[in-house]
Amino acid sequence: MGAYEQFYTQARSYVNITNEDKYHATLEALEEALESASDTKNDPLNPLIDMLSHAIREYESRDDEVVEFVEEAEGMSPRYCIVDHPDETKPIDGK
């Protein structure tokens, strides 16, 4: 078995997210990769981070609640942020 096949055998459940358990495992793997990576353009973990991020976006794009949340968040004024409680918003600039 070649290196790619070995890698894909290990990564398959992270790349093809089909349920909440795999989704959360992929989120954890992404967090670990982000914490381990240096913040440079050529970090060897960048392709893994891209792959995991893409898989998460694909899974979330099929979740109606997440899609609704993203659409709502994108429609909000950038002057506002969430503070302590989701129902309490305050302008970032204090106005």
Q: Is pLDDT above 90 for 79?
A: no
Q: Is pLDDT above 70 for 90?
A: no
Facing residues of 83 across strands?
Answer: 85
Find, among 24, 14, 19, the residue nearest to 51 by Cα. 14
d(CA 59, CA 66) in angstroms, rounded, equals 10
Q: Is pLDDT above 80 for 35?
A: yes
d(CA 21, CA 17) in angstroms, rounded, equals 9
Global pTM reads 0.65
pLDDT at res. 76: 78
What would the 3-class secondary structure string for 14-30 be?
Answer: HHCCCCHHHHHHHHHHH
Q: Is pLDDT above 60 for 57?
A: yes
**What's the rounded mean pLDDT across residues 50-67?**
90
**What's the rounded mean pLDDT across residues 32-52?**
93
Q: Is pLDDT above 60 for 91?
A: no
Q: Is pLDDT above 70 for 94?
A: no
Both tokens of 75, joined, read 């429609």
Q: Which helix (H) or strand (E) holds 33?
A: helix 20-36
